Chain A
Amino acid sequence: MTTEPAAQAALHDDLLGSAGDGPDREPGDEGASIWRVAARRLRRNPGAILGAVIVLVFVLVALLAPLLAPYGPQELPGRAEIRPTYIPGPSSEYLLGLDRYGGDLFSKLIWGARASLVIGVLSTLLGLAGGAVVGLVAGAFGGWVDTMTMRFVDLMLSVPSLLLAVSIAAVIGQSPVAVIVAIGVVQVPIFARLLRGTMLAQRGQDYVLAARSLGLSRRTVTMSHVLPNSLGPVIVQATLMLATAVIEAAALSFLGLGGGSPTTAEWGRMLTAAQNELEVAPRLALWPGALIAITALGFTLFGEALREALDPKTRKR
């Protein structure tokens, strides 16, 4: 079937036609999928690197907590040394000092990372799964099901997220599970809206029409073209949601919805307990507070950088 002149034509096409596409292409782009290109762009972005480092350290600390922490999450090794007006500060034995109840602050911060990771990941997974179900149902059925579902989603979005989380947690009762469910449920409408929106946008793309023209079933088109291409924004949103989850979990703990005792190794809870010790030992508040902020910052930095790396509009820069 070879036609030599045609091959020549294609060569010219390369020679002449691609001139306009020149700036788009980068050296070493051979066989580069969107994800690989995004990874390369992330490596060049200092914000992304900082974010990734923070996230990595956080995850490692959370996973390796039993190895890293000198004491267990509930242990109160220094109980005997606490006086009403005096809480021992940093020493060789207690790296960051003790808290009001005689717990080792350093150990509790490490265990707190684990608590935050569990709450963040579980609630975001819950939100993602719920959002996917709602979004897919709305998108798949269309018509009035879609309208009603999206109205409901709008309704949920019309209540500020913290209040929504508070009211949900209040129904379930004061416990870590309540916090996870509350934060997760609040994320459902956000993911549902996002998924439905990106999938609708994908559906109008020519390559989806081309796939439909092949006679592929709706399900196959959705699973093999629409969904994979909608994944980018969802992953970005999930990363940003992890940041929100860490912050909101702390807020719910602060409002007393997290359950557990004041000695629980959870950052929000520790921060709340430290409230009364500001004059005696401000470090008790500074440490957990700063860790919440830095962890959330890490996820946000990474999420924003990922969004930028995946955005074809900014890709030329």
Chain B
Amino acid sequence: MSAVDGVPLLSIRDLEVSFTTDHGTTTAVRGASFDVLAGETVAVVGESGSGKSTTAAAVIGLLAQNGRVSGGSILFDGTDVTARGGGIARMRGRDIGMVPQDPMSNLNPVIRVGAQIVEALEDNGVARGDAAWRRAVELLQEAGLPDAERRAQQYPHEFSGGMRQRALIAMGLSCRPRLLIADEPTSALDVTVQRTILDRLEALTHELGTAVLLITHDLGLAADRAQRVVVMYQGEVVEAGPAEQLLRDPQHEYTRRLLAAAPSLASRRIQLARRTGGRPEYGEDLLAPSADADGEHAPAAAAPPIVEVEDLTKVFRLRGKGLFSRSTELTAVDAVTFAIPRGTTTAVVGESGSGKSTVARMVLDLLEPTSGSIRVDGVEIGARTRAEEVAFRRKVQPIFQDPYSSLDPLYTIYRTVEEPLRAHEVGTAAQRRARVLELMDAVALPAALLRRYPAELSGGQRQRVAIARALALEPELVVCDEAVSALDVIVQSQILHLLADLQHRLGLSYLFISHDLAVVRQIADQVCVMEQGRIVEQGTVDDVFDRPQQAYTRALLDAIPGRRLDLGPQAA
């Protein structure tokens, strides 16, 4: 409210944060400097490990026990909060509020939601007793929680994720702080929920004149919500400036790469130099809209589809909670029908609980359908001979979401990649060895990694190993279940390019399961949009994205952050 001319509300100078571990001291933030003006929203963007959350924790004085500010200063309204006795403890809640990342774990499970706001009001001397309770209800209402009066009496476990996040916003803003730190406030939520919550947060802080320090990994979201953007990489601020300028004219190499890798609706299907037939090229320009490729992409339309799914239904029986309560049924997948033409990618998108992963499991024959049919290469999954089953397993391979759990921790990389070959008794030991090396090469991993264990690899490397394993038997269909969702944007973009390249070279078909429409736009040819077990809309990527027919699809598309990424250098 009081935009004091020129003097920033928060001023971070040469901030250095280090952590003491068994192996010595590591510096998580190095020489970071930036300002937040009163009433302004500043986004700090970076990948995991960039130091963005550590910076936020340093501001509010809540670093982990082994961490400390080892250099520089953090001035809030002129006071250095890092100084001993700087009074940061008294400023928390009152002057600086916080909205944390994961709504599921940030509320005290044993205390009523309303009471959790009341305690903040009381301990900060804002209100007491009945007045505090009435105020808490008001605050919850203000954060967009319907039926706040009744809801305030409930416990966190009775709230959905979105409702909890609203409660946390009400809590963060309860004492009207001048600065609100929002650390990935909506990363754990579905896109549609994410959008309404961010809208509410934006409206509220605007109305109250609260400055916001928004921490996010999502450049698109930062561009949408902040006036200024600070980009951090490996503990350092590499670039900072007004959002628009930074997107239009990024100065630092890293920002450029980040921008290029960020999936957005503006991006187009990754195309790999089909016309020249030469080596696939890599580089940022691949993400640029390539109008010339559109007509090219219909290989072998006449051949029968690799997968035909008809009326696929899966009903789970949920056991009743009590001893005598009857079990209930949950239809996770409801009469789903689609086909995957050979050599193309069909994406299934949906929010959590839409049934998309259940579809993937059934196509992989890891889960038995309740009814309906799945034909792979014309062979019905349910009714086949042992020989047909072996053939099926060689034809269809998965890549899973979590690169940390998809590799056996006890197997070396060599054993992991070789396992499919040995399982199907392919070739001699020497031939298998040669094939493994070939596969490592195909996924661009150095052969030196073969003797390592998964725990020693980065997430991106592990996902490449998972791809190599999936390709070992020369499958025709690869089922990617959220295969890039756990990765940082740049790595994600690399894996997507790798998948596109492999598809091109090996003629693979993909069933691509994802919650991220922006990613889907980059990799898929056809899209099925799922909601509560049903496919509500399907068609080619361009049809669905440019001319959505269903309200739900439109809502999904509208909710994707990053519209302003169109401003990026390639569009300019």
A and B touching (Cβ–Cβ under 8 A): yes
A interface list, Cβ under 8 A from B: 1-3, 5-10, 12-14, 16-27, 29-34, 37, 44, 205-207, 209-216, 220, 225, 228-229, 317
A34 touches B410 (CB 8 A): yes
Kindly provide the distance from the CB of B522 to the nearest chain A CB, expressed in whole angstroms.
15
- Point out the residues of chain B lying under 8 angstroms from A13, CB to CB: 458, 460-461, 464, 491, 494
Kindly provide the distance from the CB of B264 to the nearest chain A CB, expressed in whole angstroms.
19
14 contacts between A and B (CB under 8 A): A6-B498, A9-B497, A10-B460, A14-B458, A18-B459, A19-B49, A22-B49, A34-B455, A207-B405, A207-B409, A210-B400, A211-B419, A214-B420, A216-B423
Kindly provide the distance from the CB of B425 to the nearest chain A CB, expressed in whole angstroms.
11
Docked complex Cα distance between A31 and B413 (Å)? 10
Residue of B nearest to A21 (CB): B458
- Point out the residues of chain B lying under 8 angstroms from A19, CB to CB: 47-50, 234
Docked complex Cα distance between A22 and B366 (Å)? 34
Docked complex Cα distance between A48 and B445 (Å)? 38
What is the count of residue pairs linking A and B with beta-carbon distances less than 8 angstroms?
162
Apart from the given pairs A24-B455, A32-B456, A220-B423, 5 other A-B contacts in the complex at a CB distance below 8 Å: A17-B491, A26-B23, A209-B364, A213-B393, A214-B419
Known A-B contacts A9-B282, A17-B491, A206-B405; the reply to A31 vs B451 at CB < 8 A is yes
- Point out the residues of chain A lying under 8 angstroms from B96, CB to CB: none
**Selected contact of A3 from candidates B234, B280, B283, B446, CB within 8 Å:** B280
Q: Which of B29-37, B436-444, B533-541 contacts A (4 or more CB under 8 A)?
A: B436-444
Contact with A along B357-383 (1 / 0, CB 8 A): 000010011100000000000000000
Kindly provide the distance from the CB of A116 to the nearest chain B CB, expressed in whole angstroms.
33
A5 touches B466 (CB 8 A): no
Does B406 lie at the interface of the complex (its beta carbon under 8 Å from any beta carbon of A)?
yes
Taking each of B23, B452, B458, B459, which has the highest tally of chain A beta carbons within 10 Å of its own beta carbon? B458
Does B281 lie at the interface of the complex (its beta carbon under 8 Å from any beta carbon of A)?
yes
Shortest Cβ-Cβ A-B pairs, 10 listed: A215-B393, A18-B458, A20-B48, A20-B49, A17-B491, A6-B444, A17-B460, A5-B282, A206-B406, A10-B444
B interface list, Cβ under 8 A from A: 21-23, 26, 47-50, 234, 257, 279-283, 361, 364-366, 389-390, 392-394, 396-398, 400-402, 405-410, 412, 419-420, 423-424, 438, 441-446, 451-453, 455-456, 458-461, 464, 466, 469, 473, 487-488, 490-491, 494, 497-498, 501
**Selected contact of A5 from candidates B49, B281, B423, B455, CB within 8 Å:** B281
A20 touches B456 (CB 8 A): no
Residue of B nearest to A205 (CB): B405
**Selected contact of B366 from candidates A6, A37, A213, CB within 8 Å:** A213
Kindly provide the distance from the CB of A23 to the nearest chain B CB, expressed in whole angstroms.
7
Docked complex Cα distance between A29 and B459 (Å)? 17
Known A-B contacts A27-B23, A214-B423; the reply to A12 vs B441 at CB < 8 A is no
Known A-B contacts A30-B456, A206-B400; the reply to A12 vs B50 at CB < 8 A is no
B461 touches A18 (CB 8 A): yes
Known A-B contacts A1-B442, A206-B406; the reply to A23 vs B26 at CB < 8 A is yes
Docked complex Cα distance between A26 and B26 (Å)? 12
A210 touches B461 (CB 8 A): no
- Point out the residues of chain B lying under 8 angstroms from A27, CB to CB: 23
Docked complex Cα distance between A9 and B260 (Å)? 14
Known A-B contacts A16-B488, A209-B398; the reply to A31 vs B408 at CB < 8 A is no
Known A-B contacts A209-B398, A210-B398; the reply to A215 vs B408 at CB < 8 A is no
Docked complex Cα distance between A213 and B283 (Å)? 34
